[in-house]
Structure 1
Amino acid sequence: MANHLVPCAAIVAAVVLLMPCATGYPWPFCHDSDNFKANSSYQAHLDFVAATLPMNASASPDLFATAVVGTVPEQLWAVGLCRGDVNATACFNCLTQAFRDLQNDCSYDKGATIYYDPCMLHYSDNQQLLADDESDLPYFISYNGNVTSDQARFNGLVAELVNATAEHAAYNSTRRFATGESRAGFEPKVYSLAQCTPDLTAARCRTCLEAIISQSLDGFQNLVGGRALWINCTYRYETAPFFDGPAMVQIAPPPSSGAPAPAPTVAPSMQPTSGTPAAVAGGGGRKYSRLPSVVVAAVLAAVTALNLAACLCFWRRRRRTAEEKQTYPMYSTVAEDTDMVDSMMMDASILRAATGDFDESNKLGEGGFGAVYKGVLPDGGEVAVKRLSQGSSRGVEELKNELALVAKLRHKNVVTLVGICLEQQERLLVYEFVANRSLNLIIFDAEKRERLDWRHRHQIINGIARGLQYLHEDSQLKVVHRDLNPSNILLDANMDPKISGFGLARIVGRDQQTQAVVSQGVVGTYGYMAPEYALRGNYSVKSDAFSFGVTVLEIISGRKNSAIYNGGKPDDLLDTVWQHWEAGTVVETVDPCMDGGFPEGDVLRCIHVALLCVQGDPAARPAMSSVVMMLGGDTITLQAPSKPMIFEYYQESPENE
């Protein structure tokens, strides 16, 4: 697969300047290929492969599978690969989700690729795509944060480790997978991973890894982490552990000689088969067009200048926009935070002008931290500016927490932080502007919620679930939100949801994702807190699952969960829905604004999943990856729910932490 190498690094650099931006996590790429029509043969082939390939890959000892279905020109070829250290269940879930996400991000495109932490999926109508096509490009990601001491030794250590790991993956593993770490004696320690598709020969695997290492490693100089993603092969290094199990490769740290770091032992003329790296940046999944030969010819005349400019601009941009990474459970090192803050700083004068000096007419809402204003930047871009109230000690802590978290999160269903301002006594967070504001302003308004037909409500429910799955399982930080409710769900112009309001969120370690952490105080919003959190201060990802279940029932019913204890009898939404569920009349709880315009089976399934999420026992609640699977179709049999715990305990407001 990886046997067509581009010989000229200068051409590569020139092409980088022409590349469109790529999306955030997960990383989908829509190829410049033909489209197919709904209900076509190609659609049928894609549906068949989506139903079979995840099972085939997860059942394989290599966690790898390919499929070829149909005949040209409607033939479909697909490949799925899971990371070598994940289990079969995680592999199956990841690839199943990948098929769903790709068909949303690259609707009706015959060729598409998507990368997650646990897996990669690619499909196309051309089985030779990996060898001959330039539309699917290696994707490079750098982590903000520099190693500030003994950088030469650190860079030499990284180069030696990633090459040793690549060598082991190619020649010492039939699965073409290896992990590595540096031994004690130099801080920070470095961890690495390399993997190829198992159908590559050892030599071709090593050639593929050599190519992406040589193309990217110089740009990762002094950085605490970097990774390169491609269909044929991938590598990654970080200063924090990120893989499961013991390292397969261990190397000793270099001597403390002060000598320059050795260059990576790779052939400098090697380049990946299918083209050049794409910079990490915001934006949706976009089609990657094949570069015309006339463009290549034109840039040759200025190859030296373009090479230098491309390298400088490309790596500068990636360092400013790549995802953040650090160890658990602390937020980050001082150096990382300083680097991050500097790169996102905005002038107070610009934000004052953008918001009309925080004019009341531009106010979008207000919370415990202060107010949020709509602003228009000089380039015409719309933003939402969160302004901390003067003298609010609670707001200061929440703002710091939100800054430390949201700047490191990248997902289409999580709100994006675009800038900050910490000057002139102002404490401001600048977010992307989300046109339809928060869900609570629509779903609890009798007139506005008529805009929400079942298609939009189902879309919102699925988007929230995917956003939570990212926070709990797929992000570099493992985050418990602790205040998920409709006021913290923003809706963009297409009614796609974005989770916001991270002031009360907490990072948890990988071993604490389902294990409860005891809070020093109970914070959150009345009616959405899980019983174990409200009563004992125990929170985990299962607490967020409970809040999600309540929110889903509110979206379906159009009714707020009052959680009020009236006359000695509980009178909340969960009790009402449960009574109807037992009586077989739960459809009667659906919002009458939809006037019966909904598929009953889909609605019943969503209510069923919501009831599973609000079980009194946290262990009985599904993980969000399972929720996403349950919501995605009727192929998974759902357990019967038990009666949810009724909220007679919520008689006092929770204290602030």
Structure 2
Amino acid sequence: MDATLLNVKSVYSFAVLLLLSIKSLDTKAQSPNYMGDDCHNTTQKPLSGEYQTNLNSILSWLSTDAATSKGYNHYSFGNNTSGNHAVYGLYDCRGDVVGYFCQFCVSTAAREILQRCPNRVSAFIWYDFCMLKYSNENFFGNVTVDPSWHVVGTKDVSSAEEIQKGEDFMRSLIRKATLVTNQLYYMGGFNLSSSQRRYGLVQCSRDLTNDGCRQCLETMLAQISKCCEKKLGWFAGSASCLMKYDDSMFYLFHNQSSTVPEAYRKIAKQGIKMSKILIISFSVIGSITLLCFSVYCFWCRSRPRKDGLIPHTVRLSSYQNVQTEETLNPDLPTIPLITIQQSTDNFSEASKLGEGGYGPVYKGILPDGRQIAVKRLSQASGQGSEEFKNEVMFIAKLQHRNLVRLLACCLEENEKILVYEYLSNASLNFHLFDDEKKKQLDWKLRLSIINGIARGILYLHEDSRLRVIHRDLKASNVLLDHDMNPKISDFGLARAFSKGQKQANTNRVMGTYGYMAPEYAMEGLFSVKSDVFSFGVLVLEIICGKKNSGFYLSECGQGLLLYAWKIWCAGKFLELLDPVLEESCIESEVVKCIHIGLLCVQEDAADRPNMSTVVVMLASDTMVLPKPNRPAFSVGRMALGDASTSKSSNKHSINDITISNILPR
């Protein structure tokens, strides 16, 4: 069998090499045309290690983002760190260029800008389809007209009348780009005569305002009379805007046209030539694939199966940002897609448990009778792939009675599916915030849930193989098993800290308002103390039976944290208590939990206790607790309702607002 597998690997390697060869041919045929660069007259000198790291990160991010955005974006890295290490970056594809053309152009620019402008703290490069710029200073929204460049054609304009018509036409494009459409770009053509037609394009970097764009374009147009107006074709531009005029249609798509332009016809002709190579190549590959598949099926059938799960190493090499193999669980089994389809009645509506930004969650029953929860990545989920990777990286390696268990995953036929243990009592918010169901949660059970959540977080922070910051602790992400034991779920936003690391920062703040620590919501700083804050909010919610995010809409007229703080200062502790707990509660335990909750939500992260201290405080009846300082009030009041406003998801049920406060537009 080993020899057979070796032969399969050899054949597979040959097929991969053949595919890569074809890919390289196709790539070379579509390389963007380099137009110019400017290193901003900065001197060439070695960059600091942190600046180089941030620069590499932002160039990588811009290259990746170009595949999914609308053709432009800007971003910054390291602006929350000490020292002058911040890097600001921007890419902008031509208005008629999106998708593969945009991504390929931006990726090329990100790679070549380091070669053409080595060891520069700021640089700008542009191609026929895109431009890319980075700097150590925030240039977003600034109009840059100097330096500027121009390129002229070889043919001369036939008359002064055409010069005037051309200028009037370009002014009309400027007006349409900045006043009519507000898109900061426009392209079109006009009939110079019955047999002649002219075409033009204007575009600004889309971080500018309409006024800034108009200022830049008019400055470029004023330069045309000095350099280019007597030529039939010309191009003029700067780091902030460009314009082009020619007698042939050079753009890919007109703003309102549905016809296929000449540029795409040429690409299509190249595709026909390439298809001849592909037909021959894939005929060979098809035969090879069939052979590989047959051997693989025979191999799989000969292996023992257990509980419907096929032990198999999870391979996530296609995902970016997977740092080391150590972060993955090599023992996480995969489950055949056909088994999942059968267990969920082919993902029927009757099997659906809930819907979130990640995608739907279904209840399934394996052939051996075990119940499972099936989390299926929606094709429309913009963030789902990143969350899928995080779930496999973190929860697959974490085993604790207060964490939900990940049983397997499925990566067949472009599906990304996670299989969890099924928890019959749904999520904490399903019970806690329902007027009837909350009556089943007496004080003893609520205290048990608080303790269980605390132990689960403590395990993540201090006792697991990875030091994990959850970043999205909330009532809807606490599931309850048949004995009402709490299990923390949803590790899509989790991050692991290295040994000795205290905190990290991000420009992409993702989580849920009402549970987010102020330093994370406002500055992107997160640490174990961020989770402590979320835990404190959970404790206060469990005690009062109301959501922090919507508390101020009630008769109290103020947020939960502010209300709890005022009650604490007034010594009226039990006014915070859920009325359904009056008969079952132990007053001293309620007061202690309110005290601990307020310690956890203090505004200064340094004042909050670690989870190890929290667990000790919960267990002790004699420990003297410190006086809490003022909590953060503003974060909870920013959540107005329950509608989702981001790509972060409410995975298992209808959750609180989840935000994605992303710097780029």
TM-score, normalized by length of structure 1? 0.48
Larger Rg: 2
Structure with more relative contact order (C-alpha pairs < 8 Å, separation 6 or more): 1
